[in-house]
Structure 1
């Protein structure tokens, strides 16, 4: 089955194609492969999060990561299959943060990931979805005795605005 775009429609960006499950990330992985990562891979692999949760500025943590191009967020929001892929990534990361405790420390790279996830979720799925994800990670932090530093918590709050 052909996936031709209507005449005049913008060409899909790399992130959009990846979230649709058709394109590959910078390492040649399909969305399904990334979503099947076990928790150890989620923790240890650092070049997938920018594909699952794209932002319009370059990653400082992973140089060369994809950047959400102008109009690409709107195109993703208008594509049910890409939105489904984004939601699947959000669900996978929600399970990771729900099932693991290694990130529940004062400082951890996952705190930056959570800021990214919140910002991208707000841009693609909207404020309600971002707030729901925030509520889940904040509750885990509280249940663990609130070990996460205040600066990370402030970044999470800022990501919701």
Structure 2
């Protein structure tokens, strides 16, 4: 029996509402902003979410499968690209997240103090690492940190969580 996260990313699995990976990538920015149960499916972790306790979980076995499966890696890359656009960044050919002028209004999605999208950024960085996208996680961390510091929209605590998500043990709870 395959895990739900492997089924979702490697096959044609869906969330409890019948949404597939492709459905989630096709959501508008407004839909991504307002649907609070979706980020846990787009960027799964090893621990349950209080917002969505029914989300799929990544364990050591599924982590290995997700890192080795070409479809899962491609889908995660597309999810990363989609989420970056939601935040106002483009992923360039060198693997850097560039603040895109045409997406400047998207930064309003998270450029306010104590915004739930700042929590999402923490999740995304950790999930990227679980899928083996360490270099891309580092690039996203650099982009959001630079943008957040410039706009003064985050606390030191938020920056510390992002750093811990980037550098901390993958299967431990952030504190």
Counterpart CA distance in 1 for 2:28 and 2:12 is 21
Match of 2:3 in 1: 13
C-alpha distance in structure 2 between counterparts of 1:66 and 1:79, whole Å: 17
1:64 Cα offset (Å): 2.0
User: Does 2:155 align with 1:152?
Assistant: no
Per-residue deviation at 1:60?
Answer: 2.0
Contact 1:15/1:54 (8 A) holds in 2: yes
Q: Which moved more, 1:16-25 or 1:89-98?
A: 16-25
The DSSP-based 3-state class of the residue aligned with 2:118 is helix
User: Aligned partners of 2:9, 2:143: CA distance in 1, in Å?
Assistant: 23
CA distance in 2, matches of 1:34, 1:127: 23
How many residues are aligned here?
A: 150
In the alignment, the residues of structure 1 paired with residue 59 and residue 135 of structure 2 have an alpha-carbon distance, to the nearest angstrom, of 24
RMSD after superposition: 1.4
1:5-154 matches, cutoff 5 A: 11-20=1-10, 22-98=12-88, 99=103, 100=106, 101-143=108-150, 145-154=151-160
d(CA) in 1 for partners of 2:22, 2:11: 7
1:88-141 per-position Cα deviation (integer Å, ceiling 9, x unaligned): 111100000013113101101111111110111112123211101111212322
Is the contact made by 1:21 and 1:32 (CA closer than 8 Å) also made in structure 2? no
Contact 2:109/2:117, CA 8 A, preserved across alignment: no
Return the alpha-carbon distance in structure 2 between the equivalents of residues 65 and 155 of structure 1. 21
Taking structure 1 as the reference length, the TM-score comes to 0.86
Q: CA deviation at 1:83?
A: 0.6
Distance 1:45 1:21, change over 3 A: farther
Any unmatched runs of 5+ in structure 2? 89-102, 168-175
> Quick check: which has more Rg, 1 or 2?
1
Q: Normalising by structure 2, report the TM-score.
A: 0.80
Preserved contact between residue 19 and residue 52 of structure 1 (Cα < 8 Å): no
